[in-house]
Amino acid sequence: MKHLLLSLLAAAVLPAAAQSSNWATWNPVGDVSASSSGALLTTAAFESGETPASGTSAALWFDIESALGTALDGDTIEGSALATSFSAVAGTRVSVDWSLSTEGFDPAFADRAYVLLDGQLQTLATVGSALQSGTFSFTVTGSGTHSLAFAVMDVNDVAGLSRLALSGLQVTPVPEPATIALWLAGLGVVGGLARRRHTSM
């Protein structure tokens, strides 16, 4: 009885396990291929003699800036971006796995990947001679609607083809105060049942 009650309480009031989201529902700009499990953004453009993975050329920097509502670094030329907005309560944890690679690496033209969170732009990574990868994670500081975007851009020249792969998007919610109170009350009931059983023996 005690174990069944604990299981029911946990299922009803504990925060859901980390949930993944569908990348295909995000808003793409440029050469973006997205599915339910991941997304690929590239700097490929037909005009540069490259073959875009999605069949759509990378966009120029001003189109990316317009779509994301931000200013990129002045040395960017063309690239692709993927953006979304979501509602979350303060304390929600979000993480994304990423990898960045390039063909024909030249340190004078080191392409860049960016992340834009609630209008704040930061460099995610700069291409190197080898594949780079990591996890970008953050905790939502205020409840409400938030924006998140990723981009990869050619730097100084359109030579070289860079790819930003995204996957493993996890959104881990936190329990609301009322949920915590219900969970604690449930633990009290379980404790009371355990004491009652012990005294009746």
For the chain, what are the domain ranges? Answer: 1-16+176-201, 17-172
Residue 82: the pLDDT is 98
pLDDT recorded at residue 15: 40
pLDDT in the model for residue 160: 85
pLDDT for residue 184: 60
Topology of the domain covering 17-172: Jelly Rolls (2.60.120)
pLDDT for residue 4: 41
Threshold 0.85, pTM exceeds: no
Phi-psi region of 140 (alpha: psi -120 to 50; beta: other; left: phi over 0): beta
> Mean pLDDT per 10-residue run, the chain (201 residues)?
41 41 94 97 94 96 97 97 93 96 90 96 95 96 94 93 96 65 54 56 58
CB contact at 8 A, 158 and 149: no
